[in-house]
Amino acid sequence: AGPFLVAAPLSTLGHWAGEFAAFSPLNAVLFHGSAEDRALVWKHEIYYKPRHPGRRPYKADVVLTTYETCKAARAQLAKVPWSVMVVDEGHRLKGKGTQVRRLLQDEIPSGFRLLLTGTPIQNSVEELYSLLHFLDARAFADREAFLAKYGRMRGGDQVEDLQALLRRYLLRRVKGDVEKNLPKKMETVVDVELTALQKRYYRAILEKNRKFLNRGLSKGSVPSLMNVVMELRKLCNHPYLIKGVRERLASVKTREGRDETYQADPLVLCCGKMILLDKLLAKIKSEGSKVLVFSQMRRVLDLLEEFLAARGHRFERLDGMVTGAARAAAIRRFNDPAGRSFVFLLTTKAGGVGLNLQSADTVVIFDSDWNPQNDIQAMARSHRIGQTKEVRVYRLVTRKTYERQLFRAASCKLGLDRA
């Protein structure tokens, strides 16, 4: 059998290679990087040279690559009769028009396909159809018929029918099935109060958009509504994310009768979440633990960097702008038992996949993702097989704001996955 193709996120390739080296006799070859690097690997590591009659031509049993490399080297990869194609983080193929899915399904042939994912359903049953169509295009040729039968999932009979269908295609193993001694994960939703300053700006945003909001939702109003929602989300995270607020606070001179609440430590004291995080980190540090802090926004990480530096907390950072070498070095420093890094700042998108950060036993979700599965993936950076401590998760949700509505909607989406 073979050769086998594994397409995975770049951040996980090193882990894949290490696992093959540790547990398998198969020759696994990394195929990614620049065009020159790929050409050398293709020439010397994929095929035997010279070829001998009666000997299989492939030197590599397994080729480990990335989605991006599949696009860049599609012509080369299409020439190989792959016996099995494995797609790690397979939920990335969920979109109806996903370019990577079309590429792997239509342009790179394989005898058998396997998707690996912890989140086969994230938002809707329609996403599940995309994955099933990738696995068996003949059986799942009619999207409309599938959605007509399972799309709304209003009755128990529908759920049971779909579960019976999935048994032929889905092998599900949760962490508790394979690691009986995995410590618990305890999630606490922390209600955070807006500061007086945040409340003032929150009301101002709503007042400014009152006429628009009173008109109700129409197809054309969705972009404007999303802009309002984003401004509210930014304000809940920190008022400095609203244009002009920091400059306005800095320009105000303290005088008799002026509210001096924010003058001593404005970065922290004008933000409810920052006040809570300041107290929480002090407690965690006194216990000798390490902490991961996730946010959707890079600008939030900028403010958290400034705050951590002011408090003297050693930290690492990972977002979409951090390169592979710097990424690996940051992870190594944080996981070093003798290292001094206390906090790891991560964007949920960049830090939620393929990282092993078990040295941390505390996770802070500074702001929740629209897609609850992304937050679950983020928590799994710490709560994973091999963790020896109970993992504490603190999810910060601002009371009586749009964040609370978002969290409720996300909780409903999780119910679909569990069904």
- Can you spell out the DSSP letters for 166-179? HTTT-----HHHH-
pTM of the entire predicted model: 0.75
Q: Residues 357, 399: contact at Cβ < 8 Å? A: no
**What whole-number distance in Å separates Cα of residue 254 and Cα of residue 363?**
38
Q: Is 96 helix (H, G, I), strand (E, B) or coil?
A: coil
**Measuring CA to CA, how many Å separate 77 from each of 30, 81, 98, 115, 223?**
13, 9, 19, 18, 40
Please determine, for residue 415, whether its predicted confidence score (pLDDT) is greater than 70: no
Please determine, for residue 64, whether its predicted confidence score (pLDDT) is greater than 70: yes
Q: Residues 342, 290: contact at Cβ < 8 Å? A: yes
pLDDT in tens, 346-367: 998 887 676 889 899 999 999 9
**What whole-number distance in Å separates Cα of residue 237 and Cα of residue 239?**
7
* CA-CA-CA-CA torsion sign (197, 304, 368, 274): negative
**What whole-number distance in Å separates Cα of residue 23 and Cα of residue 252?**
64
User: Residue 386 has what pLDDT?
Assistant: 75
- Residue 408 phi/psi, 5-degree rounding, is -60, -45
Q: What is the mean pLDDT of residues 30-34?
A: 93
For the beta carbon of residue 36, count every other beta carbon within 10 angstroms.
Answer: 8
**Measuring CA to CA, how many Å separate 397 from each of 203, 364, 405, 417?**
18, 11, 10, 22
User: Residue 29 has what pLDDT?
Assistant: 96
Tokens of 61: 């049993």
Beta sheet of 291-295, edge-to-edge order: 185-192, 391-398, 362-365, 291-295, 343-347, 315-318
Tokens of 413: 């989406």
Pick the CATH number of 4-177 from 3.40.630.30, 3.60.21.10, 3.30.950.10, 3.40.50.10810: 3.40.50.10810
In angstroms, how far is CA 264 from the centroid of its own chain?
36
Q: Is 53 helix (H, G, I), strand (E, B) or coil?
A: coil
Please name every residue paired with 8 in a beta bridge, in sequence order, or none if there are none.
66
**What whole-number distance in Å separates Cα of residue 67 and Cα of residue 85?**
12
Query: Per mean pLDDT, which of 105-114, 142-151, 367-376, 407-416 is the most reliable?
Result: 105-114
Pick the CATH number of 185-191+272-416 from 3.40.50.300, 3.30.499.10, 3.40.47.10, 3.30.70.1290: 3.40.50.300
Q: Which of 358, 378, 359, 357 is nearest to 367 (CA)?
A: 378
pLDDT band at residue 261 under the 50/70/90 scheme = low
- Whole-number average pLDDT of the chain: 86
Residue of 334 and 177 predicted with greater confidence: 334
pLDDT in tens, 214-233: 665 555 544 556 788 899 99
**Measuring CA to CA, how many Å separate 91 from each of 88, 98, 173, 242, 332?**
8, 11, 16, 34, 28
DSSP state at residue 355: -
**What whole-number distance in Å separates Cα of residue 143 and Cα of residue 137?**
10
pLDDT in tens, 270-299: 999 999 999 999 999 999 999 999 999 999
pLDDT in tens, 96-105: 667 888 899 9
User: Residue 155 has what pLDDT?
Assistant: 72
Domain segments of the chain as ranges:
4-177, 185-191+272-416, 196-254
Q: What is the 3-state secondary structure (H, E, C) of 132-148?
A: HHHHCCCCCCCHHHHHH
Say yes or no: do domains 4-177 and 185-191+272-416 share a fold.
yes
Please determine, for residue 254, whether its predicted confidence score (pLDDT) is greater than 70: no
